[in-house]
């Protein structure tokens, strides 16, 4: 079983991420965009749901049906602003999709008899982007450590290359792979904490920045840009489907503020400063990508029980 973790960024890379894109980065991104035009997107769907539980049921059915039709493992991106509820939704969809898949094995399982061998193994798993935060020690190595820590959660504070590579490995094969999680108690990733076994039929990739229109994130929703290069057609998107939890900015930031005061022990003033200086700018960047998602999930749905 291979394990995928983040690597220490070289000093020059850290400087570029802290200061913003290097002068050559837009050229690279523009060249990639020219070489790999965005795939033609079907019309965006608004999930026809009125409660959180309805959304979890509808999305689980969509995921299980997509896996059943394709006869292979599928990867679904779940995107939304911080505080928008995407992690809770991913966990609920995972449980429901797993139950659905156990009741109707894929065609390949029925033909090979693999269903019995895979009994008890997770059929739907969550691969969180949070596990690919740079560690606090890595942030200490940035040219301005204080600014790096203050902006933790911005796109450049993640090991995006390692994250996208992990999604690619999960999407490509049936072998087991281990990916990191994030432990809020120690405020750092935990290597190899999540196992995606060969039985997994649905991988729910959950994170803020899956729909950014820049390398390497673009590989997730638009394809192309894979390692090695090829004279053939560009690789397809790593995500078979993308869902956006469309939480209003004000509501999402209220959730973040409450979490920082109740769970992190910050004063109200400290929490407001963090939200205004980091979480809100990050959320605005995420909300700007909503148009690239295949499915919009209404935000702030009433919840009964998940």
Each residue of 205-259: pLDDT tens digit?
999 999 999 999 999 999 987 554 556 788 899 999 999 999 999 999 999 999 8
Six token digits for residue 230: 């090829």
> Residue 99 CB: number of other CB atoms within 10 A?
13
Query: What phi and psi, each to the nearest 5 degrees, are found at residue 3?
Result: -120, 135
* Element (DSSP H or E) covering residue 190: strand 188-196
Closest CA to 47 of 31, 30, 61: 61
Q: Give the pLDDT confidence score for residue 282 in this predicted structure.
A: 97
Rounded Cα distance between 114 and 109, Å, is: 5
Strand pairing category for 188-196 and 2-3: unpaired
The tokens 């990050």 sit on which residue?
Answer: 282
Query: What is the C-alpha R_g of the chain?
Result: 19
Q: Which domains does the chain have, with CATH numbers?
A: 2-298 (3.40.50.300)
Per-residue pLDDT of the chain (306 residues; tens, 9 = 90+): 656 655 544 333 333 333 333 333 333 333 444 445 555 667 899 999 999 999 999 999 999 999 999 989 999 999 999 999 999 999 999 999 999 999 877 655 544 445 544 567 899 999 999 999 999 999 999 999 999 999 999 999 999 999 999 999 999 876 789 999 999 899 999 999 999 999 999 999 999 999 999 999 999 999 987 554 556 788 899 999 999 999 999 999 999 999 888 877 888 899 899 999 999 999 999 999 999 999 999 988 887 666
Half-sphere exposure of 290 (CA within 13 A, CB side): 19
The tokens 């991104």 sit on which residue?
Answer: 29
Rounded Cα distance between 226 and 165, Å, is: 9
Rounded Cα distance between 202 and 94, Å, is: 8
Rounded Cα distance between 95 and 88, Å, is: 11
**CB-CB contact of 118 with 106 (8 Å):** no
- Torsion region of 265: left, alpha or beta (phi above 0 gives left; psi -120 to 50 gives alpha): left
Please state the pTM of the whole predicted model.
0.83
**CB-CB contact of 159 with 170 (8 Å):** no
């Amino acid at each position: 079983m291979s394990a995928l973790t983040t690597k220490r960024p070289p000093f020059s890379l850290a400087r570029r991420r802290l200061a913003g894109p290097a002068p050559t980065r837009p050229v690279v991104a523009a060249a990639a965009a020219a070489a790999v035009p965005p795939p033609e997107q079907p019309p965006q769907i608004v999930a026809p749901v009125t409660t959180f539980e309805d959304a979890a049921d509808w999305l689980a059915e969509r995921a299980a049906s997509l896996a059943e039709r394709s006869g292979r493992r599928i990867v679904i991106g779940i995107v939304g602003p911080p505080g928008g509820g995407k992690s809770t939704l991913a966990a609920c969809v995972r449980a429901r999709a797993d139950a659905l898949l156990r009741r109707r094995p894929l065609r390949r399982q029925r033909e090979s008899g693999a269903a019995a061998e895979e009994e008890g193994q997770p059929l739907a798993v969550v691969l969180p982007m949070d596990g690919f935060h740079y560690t606090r020690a890595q942030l200490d190595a940035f040219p301005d450590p204080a600014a790096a820590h203050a902006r933790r959660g911005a796109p450049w504070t993640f090991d995006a290359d390692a994250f996208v590579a992990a999604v690619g490995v999960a999407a490509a094969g049936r072998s087991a792979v281990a990916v990191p999680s994030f432990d809020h108690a120690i405020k750092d990733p935990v290597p190899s904490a999540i196992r995606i076994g060969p039985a997994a039929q649905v991988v729910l990739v959950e994170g803020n920045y899956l729909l950014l229109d820049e390398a390497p994130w673009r590989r997730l929703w638009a394809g192309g840009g894979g390692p090695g290069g090829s004279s053939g057609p560009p690789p397809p998107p790593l995500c078979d489907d993308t869902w956006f939890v469309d939480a209003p900015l004000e509501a999402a930031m209220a959730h973040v503020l409450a979490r920082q005061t109740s769970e992190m022990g910050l004063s109200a003033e400290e929490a407001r400063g963090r939200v205004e200086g980091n979480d809100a700018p990050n959320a605005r960047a995420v909300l700007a990508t909503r148009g690239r998602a295949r499915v919009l999930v209404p935000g702030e749905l009433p919840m009964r029980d998940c």
